[in-house]
Amino acid sequence: MTQQGNRLKLRRLSTQENVAQTLRNAIIDCEFEFGMALNEKALCESLGVSRTPVREALIDLQGQKLVQIIPFRGAFVFDMDEAEFEELGAFRAILETAALRAALKWDATGLCARLDQLLDEMRASVANKNGKAYGVLDTSFHETILAMSRNRFLIDGYEQVAGRLAALRNRIQHDARTVMGSLNKHEMIVRAAEQGQVDKATALLESHIHNGMAFFCERMGKFRANGVCA
């Protein structure tokens, strides 16, 4: 972890959008710890901007569930307790299972073909022992289901928590057994979908989501104990 503000650089103009994207990346990429206070003055000095775009960016990030703004106390990087992990898992399950049903209804062949491509890339990342690449592909797998549902409301709902999920994935360490279990579950979902077993595919997806959130919760406890990004 680095102290807030260190190494943060705006890539272009110091607009609110650039500030928000820079801070979003810092949270997702482990620059800031969960629950960490975000000092406006320090951020302004580091980014070379006035307080207005920083404040607007923090409000934007609050909408993305990455920042919590507490009146008279300030802004803080999000944190989660066990109950919130369960709630997030339930929210994801509702969105993603509905999206899977919709995507299979719209274009089952196209969806399965795209998911099969991702599975090939996931297998390659496992063979190369590239955990970071696997995490990115895992995210793409789930986002593909949402995108191909063609349901804007489901997609918008998922985007509200996408940043949190990315931040969580970047703070956990996957061992070989866990990664293989994840890969096998993804393969089972796709095989069921290819065979037209929609109920089975959605049940497998729901189970995978809840197991994944429980895993996140367990690993986050270890992360807080040692204070390093896996």
56-69 pLDDT, tens per residue?
Answer: 999 999 988 899 99
Sheet holding 37-38, edge to edge: 37-38, 74-77, 67-70
The pLDDT score that the predictor gives to residue 12 is: 52
Q: Residue 59's Cα: distance from chain center in Å? A: 19
195-209 pLDDT, tens per residue?
Answer: 999 999 999 999 999
| Nearest by Cα to 56 from 14, 25, 96 | 14
- Range(s) within the chain of domains with CATH label 1.20.120.530: 82-226
CATH 1.20.120.530 for domain 82-226: yes
Tokens in use for 198?
């929609």
Q: Count other Cβ atoms within 10 Å, centred on residue 78.
A: 20
pTM reported for the whole predicted model: 0.78
- The DSSP element (H or E) to which 105 belongs, if any, is helix 82-127
SS3 137: helix
Note down pLDDT in tens along the chain; length 230 residues.
455 555 565 555 547 788 888 899 899 887 888 889 998 889 988 888 888 889 999 999 998 889 999 998 999 999 888 888 889 899 999 999 999 999 999 999 999 999 999 999 999 998 988 877 888 888 899 999 999 999 999 999 999 888 888 888 777 766 677 888 889 999 999 999 999 999 999 999 999 999 888 888 877 765 555 554 44
SS3 147: helix
Give the max Cα distance, the chain.
Answer: 57
The pLDDT score that the predictor gives to residue 67 is: 93
Bridge-partner residues for 225, per DSSP?
A: none
CATH 1.10.10.10 for domain 16-77: yes
- Range(s) within the chain of domains with CATH label 1.10.10.10: 16-77
